[in-house]
Amino acid sequence: MSTNAVIPTAPANDPTFENVWDEIVWRGLVHVSTDQDALRDLLAGPPITYYCGFDPTAPSLHLGNLVQLLLMRRLQLAGHKPLGLVGGSTGLIGDPRPTAERTLNDRETVVEWVGYLRAQVERFLSFDGDNAARMVNNLDWTAPMSAIDFLREIGKHYRVGTMLKKDAVSTRLNSEEGISYTEFSYQILQGLDYRELFLSYGCVLQTGGSDQWGNLISGVDLIRRAEGASVHAIGTPLITNSDGTKFGKSEGNAIWLDPAMCSPYRMYQFWLNTDDGDVITRLKVFTFLTRDEIEEYERLVEAEPFRREAQRRLALEVTATVHGADATAAVIAASDALFGQGDLTSLDADVLRSALDELPNAEVSRETTVVQALVETGLSTSLSDARRAISQGGVSLDGVRIEDEGALVTGGLPGGVSVLRRGKKTLAGLFVTN
């Protein structure tokens, strides 16, 4: 199963499953839900309208949100009609964190981030055909509503005792910080969203992360009480690594979908470094590979883990899904060339620079010797160690072995950079100034 050709799998559901519900269950996308038998029948029947909401609490979505975007796409491929909601109003408040109160962003920032998130959500859905996606902003129906109307029409359907039992709320109530009324009311606002979409679009399903289950079920309960109707919710599992650590975090930094915040090269490397114990689960959740294909990769992981075929396919598929096939081809070429399997001089300058950002690196002048550069990048512990490495033939610059201790860095690669190598696998980047 070679990944040399960057041809990602076209989004499609696996036809070997009788129902999209069966497929999303097999892929591990259902952690908690309303009545499962009813949901299976619902998704097997005529097209329904469903939604997922994304709050602009940052200027980009991240890998946790990608789980929801791909679930939305799977349901749309099954013929159902998606509503992508960006929270222009709920983003002004933010859902309660388990540990502390959120810092409220100013209105101008939230408006700007709404635009960013809307554009990201739109890339994952189809806006053509009978089940074309639609985008909505909950500020459109909350802004005109007065506080009195909110309390009379919505608040009267909520019981404080039930609200206090929600996990996020109870955790905060038992902390020293407590919880403000602002964040306490978030679940009511999300319930209001579901009711509005039910009345305006006939929406009968909401998806979200299982950590949002209290907010998801808020709308289900509100619609039952206020409208006498039955609607549904699906909570996807929180993705964690096999060792129990939080998924998608790298030294405290989320893997963002915006290439300006997380380069395609960094994203590709993130997936490439997936542990053997996690890679099959990731293929199920984050790719459109079929059950047969994934089971074959599962066999390869067991029989030939050193080849890392499953990781390379995962990295290709997800990076292409988020950033496109062309960007993915460029980062694969950079990855191969950096490790001696391609031509460094033919690489795209921006991709090469982003790749070097992920390595030990230093900014140096053209008067810097390779000996000095080895020390500045940490590839050598001292000047004498650097000279010894050169004398032993273990140092190269831009793929050319260095034999002269007085050799200078060149910045001869695209974008005015150089790649310094000690041994076979220890690399560093040099950003060369004039």
- DSSP codes, 199-228: HHH-EEEEEEEGGGHHHHHHHHHHHHHHH-
Cβ burial of 258 (10 Å; 0-12, 13-18, 19+) is: middle
Q: What is the pLDDT of residues 132-168, one digit of tens each?
A: 999 999 999 999 999 999 999 998 998 888 888 877 7
Contact 225, 191 (CB under 8 A): no
Is 359-434 a domain of CATH 3.40.50.300? Answer: no
- Quick one: tokens of 170? 């109870």
Q: In the chain, how long is the greatest CA-to-CA distance? A: 83
Within 10 Å of residue 77's Cβ, how many Cβ atoms?
16
On the question of pLDDT at 6 being above 90, the answer is: no
On the question of pLDDT at 33 being above 80, the answer is: yes
Numbered ranges of CATH 3.10.290.10 in the chain: 359-434
For residue 280, how far is the Cα from the chain centroid?
A: 17
pLDDT, greater one: 31 or 167: 31
- Quick one: tokens of 90? 């709920």
Mean pLDDT of 84-109: 86
pLDDT at 69: 98
On the question of pLDDT at 107 being above 60, the answer is: yes
Q: What is the pLDDT of residues 328-349, one digit of tens each?
A: 999 999 999 998 888 999 999 9
429: which strand partners?
361, 419
pLDDT at 1: 42
Residues 126/128/131/137 CA torsion (nearest 10 deg):
60
418: which strand partners?
430
Mean pLDDT of 87-93: 91
Please report, rounded to a whole number, the percentage of residues in the chain having pLDDT higher than 90.
80
Q: Which amino acid is at 215?
A: N
From CA 135, how far away is CA 109, in angstroms rounded? 20
- With CA atoms as reference, report the closest residue to 23 among 35, 31, 15: 15
Task: Provide the mean pLDDT of the chain.
Answer: 92
Confidence of residue 2 (pLDDT cuts 50, 70, 90): very low
From CA 187, how far away is CA 127, in angstroms rounded? 29
Query: Nearest 5°: CA angle at 245, between 242 and 246?
Result: 110
Distances in whole angstroms, Cα of residue 3 to Cα of each of 103, 180, 282, 296, 311: 44, 51, 17, 15, 10
- With CA atoms as reference, report the closest residue to 84 among 102, 70, 63, 64: 70
From CA 395, how far away is CA 426, in angstroms rounded? 10
Confidence of residue 104 (pLDDT cuts 50, 70, 90): confident
The topology under which CATH files domain 29-236 is Rossmann fold (3.40.50)
Residue found under tokens 């699906």: 234
Mean pLDDT of 44-61: 96
- With CA atoms as reference, report the closest residue to 105 among 58, 60, 61: 58
Q: What is the pLDDT of residues 369-407, one digit of tens each?
A: 999 999 999 999 999 999 999 999 999 999 999 999 999
Numbered ranges of CATH 3.40.50.620 in the chain: 29-236
pLDDT at 185: 86
- Quick one: tokens of 370? 């390779």
User: Which residues, 6 or more positions from 392, have their beta carbon under 8 angstroms from its beta carbon?
Assistant: none
Contact 407, 369 (CB under 8 A): yes
Q: What is the pLDDT of residues 228-275, one digit of tens each?
A: 999 999 999 998 887 777 776 554 568 999 999 999 999 999 999 999
pTM (two decimals): 0.91
> DSSP state, 123?
T
* SS3 (DSSP) at 130: coil
206: which strand partners?
51, 233
Contact 131, 169 (CB under 8 A): no
